[in-house]
C-alpha cells in the first residue's frame, strides 16, 4: 500500500514538474495585448448591447470547439487565436468579460484583448455600427490594465513584463470601408481619400506612442488587406471584380503605416516591430488559390444572394459544406483557414511579407 502511495506521489511530482517545464518552454512571451476590429474580436462586442457588429449566433463558430458562436466573426478561430497558439498562450480574453470579475488577480497577466467589431482608428467609424470600442477607448482601457498590473507586480517587474510582451494591432479596414463601402458614412463629403488615409496614419502614430509610454516595446502591426476584394465590395461592382479604389487606398494607407513605423523607430530607439503585408498575402490567395488549398476566392461561405454577400451570415443564411476551400467566411471576414495562413506567415514569413523581421525574430530580440 505504502509503496503504491510513494509511486503515485513520485509520478505526481514528475508530471507536475514536467507540465511546468513544458509550459514555460512553449510560452514564448509573457503576454499578448490585442487591439483592433472584428478581424480579431474574441467576444468584446457580446457585451455591447447596442452594437450591430455581432457574431454571437450561428453559423459563426460552426468549426469552433463545441460549435460555439463566441462572438468571433469566423467559422472557427480567428487570427488572434492563432497568434496566441503560436506563442504558447491561451487566447487573450475579452477585456469586457473580465474587467468586472470579482477576483482580477492574474486575470490580465497573460494579456487581454480590447478588439471590437466595427472599431476604427478614427473616432466616429464605430458609430457606423451603432456601438463599438474605437481605438482611442481601447487604449484607455489598456491604461487601466497597465495601472493594475503595476500595482500587482511592482514597477520594475511590470516594465520587464511589458517590454517582452506583444502589442498586436489589426485595425483600419473599417475606416476605409466606411469611406468607400456604402456603410452610410459621410466622411467622403468632407475629406479626400488622401486626407482620410493621412489622418488615419497620424492618429495611429499618436496611439502607438501612448502605448509606448505605457510600456509597449514590441509591436505586431497587421496591415489592411486588399479589402476591395472582400465579397461585400465585389458585390458593389457589376462585374464582380475587386473595387479598385478601395484597394488603392488600402495600399496607400499601408505605405503610410510603413513610414510611420520607420519614423517611430528612429525617434524611439528601443521599439521593435513586425509589419505584416496582409494586402499582398490576400492577393496571393486570390491569384494563386491552389497554392494555398483554396478553390473559392470570391464568394463568402456564409450568407445569401450574389456572392453570398447580399445578406450577412445570419442564422437564416446558408453556409458552404467545406470551409477550408473558401478564403472568405462571410461578406467581410476570412475563414479560419485563411486566418491560419496569415498568422503562419507573420510568424515565419520572409521579409517580402513581414517587414523588417518576422515575429519569430521579434520575439527573440
**Beta carbon of residue 228, minimum distance to ligand NAG (angstroms, whole number):** 7
Q: Is 244 in the site for ligand NAG (CB under 6 A)?
A: yes
Q: Give burial (CB, 10 Å; 0-12/13-18/19+) of 261.
A: buried
Task: Provide the CA 330 distance to its chain's centre, in angstroms.
Answer: 16
**38: annotated active-site residue:** yes
- One of 8, 24, 38, 47 is an active-site residue; which one? 38
> Please, what is the minimum distance in Å from the beta carbon of residue 236 to ligand NAG?
7
Could you say which residues in the range 35-64 bind ligand NAG, by CB under 6 A?
Answer: none
Distance separating alpha carbons of residues 245 and 123, to the nearest angstrom:
23
**Residue 93 or 118 having the CB closest to ligand NAG:** 93
| Integer angstrom CA distances of residue 216 from 165, 223, 360 | 7, 19, 18
Candidate residues 72, 77, 205, 243; the one interacting with ligand NAG per rule CB under 6 A: 243
Cell numbers placing 346: 507573420
Grid cell, residue 80, equals 488572434
Which of residues 63, 85, 198, 245 is near ligand NAG by CB under 6 A? 245
Per-residue interface string for the shown chain with ligand NAG, residues 199-238, x marking contact by CB under 6 A = --------------------------------------x-
Q: How far is the CB of 33 from ligand NAG (least distance, A)?
A: 17
Per annotation, catalytic residue among 126, 326, 330, 348? 330
Q: How far apart (Å, rounded) are the C-alpha atoms in residues 272 and 280?
A: 22
Q: State which residue, 213 or 237, has the beta carbon closest to ligand NAG.
A: 237
200 near 342, Cβ under 8 Å?
Answer: no
| DSSP secondary structure letter of residue 321 | S
470547439: which residue's cell?
65
325 binds ligand NAG (CB under 6 A): no
What angle separates helix 336-348 from helix 79-87, to the nearest 10 degrees?
Answer: 40
Least distance CB 246 / ligand NAG (angstroms): 7
Is 333 part of the annotated catalytic residue set?
yes
> In terms of CB distance, is 107 or 260 closer to ligand NAG?
107
Q: Which residues contact 38 (CB under 8 A, 6 or more apart)?
A: 45, 53, 55, 73, 115, 116, 117, 118, 119, 174, 332, 333
For 155, the grid coordinates are: 514597477
Buried b (16+ CB within 10 A) or exposed e, 243-253: beebbebbbbb
**Which residue of 28, 107, 183, 260 would you call a contact of ligand NAG, by CB under 6 A?**
107
The CB-of-323 to ligand NAG minimum distance in angstroms stands at: 27
- Does 298 sit near ligand NAG (CB under 6 A)? no
**Cα gap 159→88, rounded to integer Å:** 21
Residue 55: CB minimum distance to ligand NAG, A: 25
The answer to whether residue 22 forms part of the interface with ligand NAG (CB under 6 A) is no
Determine, following the binding rule CB under 6 A, whether residue 241 of this chain makes contact with ligand NAG: yes
Q: Give the one residue of 100, 105, 155, 266 binding ligand NAG; rule: CB under 6 A.
A: 105
Using rule CB under 6 A, residue 239 touches ligand NAG: yes
Residues that bind ligand NAG in the complex, under the rule CB under 6 A: 103, 105-107, 237, 239, 241, 243-245
Q: Which residues are the active-site residues?
A: 38, 330, 333
Amino acid at each position: 500500500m505504502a509503496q503504491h502511495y510513494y509511486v503515485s506521489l513520485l509520478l505526481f511530482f514528475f508530471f507536475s514538474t514536467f507540465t511546468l517545464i513544458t509550459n514555460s518552454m512553449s510560452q514564448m512571451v509573457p503576454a499578448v495585448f490585442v487591439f483592433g476590429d472584428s478581424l480579431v474580436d474574441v467576444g468584446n462586442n457580446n457585451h455591447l448591447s447596442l452594437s450591430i457588429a455581432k457574431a454571437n449566433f450561428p453559423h459563426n463558430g460552426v468549426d469552433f470547439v463545441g460549435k460555439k458562436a463566441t462572438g468571433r466573426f469566423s467559422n472557427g478561430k480567428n487570427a488572434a487565436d492563432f497568434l496566441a497558439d503560436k506563442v504558447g498562450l491561451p487566447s487573450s480574453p475579452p477585456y469586457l468579460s473580465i474587467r468586472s470579475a470579482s477576483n482580477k488577480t492574474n486575470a490580465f497577466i497573460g494579456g487581454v484583448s480590447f478588439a471590437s467589431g466595427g472599431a476604427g482608428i478614427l473616432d466616429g467609424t464605430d458609430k457606423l455600427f451603432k456601438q463599438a470600442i474605437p481605438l482611442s477607448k481601447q487604449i484607455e482601457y489598456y491604461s487601466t490594465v497597465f495601472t493594475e498590473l503595476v500595482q500587482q507586480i511592482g514597477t520594475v517587474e511590470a516594465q520587464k513584463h511589458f517590454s517582452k510582451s506583444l502589442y498586436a494591432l489589426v485595425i483600419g479596414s473599417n475606416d476605409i470601408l466606411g469611406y468607400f463601402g456604402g456603410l452610410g458614412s459621410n466622411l467622403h463629403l468632407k475629406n479626400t481619400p488622401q486626407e482620410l488615409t493621412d489622418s488615419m496614419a497620424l492618429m495611429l502614430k499618436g496611439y502607438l506612442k501612448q502605448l509606448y509610454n505605457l510600456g509597449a516595446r514590441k509591436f505586431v502591426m497587421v496591415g489592411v488587406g486588399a479589402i476591395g476584394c472582400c465579397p461585400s465590395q465585389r458585390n458593389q461592382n457589376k462585374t464582380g471584380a475587386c473595387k479598385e479604389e478601395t484597394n488603392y487606398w488600402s495600399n496607400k494607407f499601408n505605405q503610410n503605416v510603413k513610414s510611420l513605423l520607420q519614423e517611430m523607430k528612429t525617434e524611439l530607439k528601443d521599439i521593435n516591430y513586425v509589419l505584416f503585408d496582409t494586402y499582398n498575402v490576400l492577393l496571393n490567395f486570390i491569384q494563386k488559390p491552389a497554392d494555398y488549398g483554396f478553390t473559392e476566392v470570391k464568394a463568402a461561405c456564409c450568407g445569401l444572394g450574389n456572392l453570398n454577400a447580399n445578406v450577412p451570415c445570419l442564422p437564416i443564411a446558408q453556409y458552404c459544406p467545406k470551409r477550408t476551400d473558401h478564403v472568405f467566411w462571410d461578406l467581410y471576414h476570412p475563414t479560419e483557414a485563411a486566418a491560419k495562413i496569415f498568422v503562419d506567415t507573420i510568424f515565419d514569413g520572409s521579409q517580402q511579407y513581414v517587414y523588417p523581421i518576422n515575429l519569430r525574430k521579434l520575439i527573440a530580440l
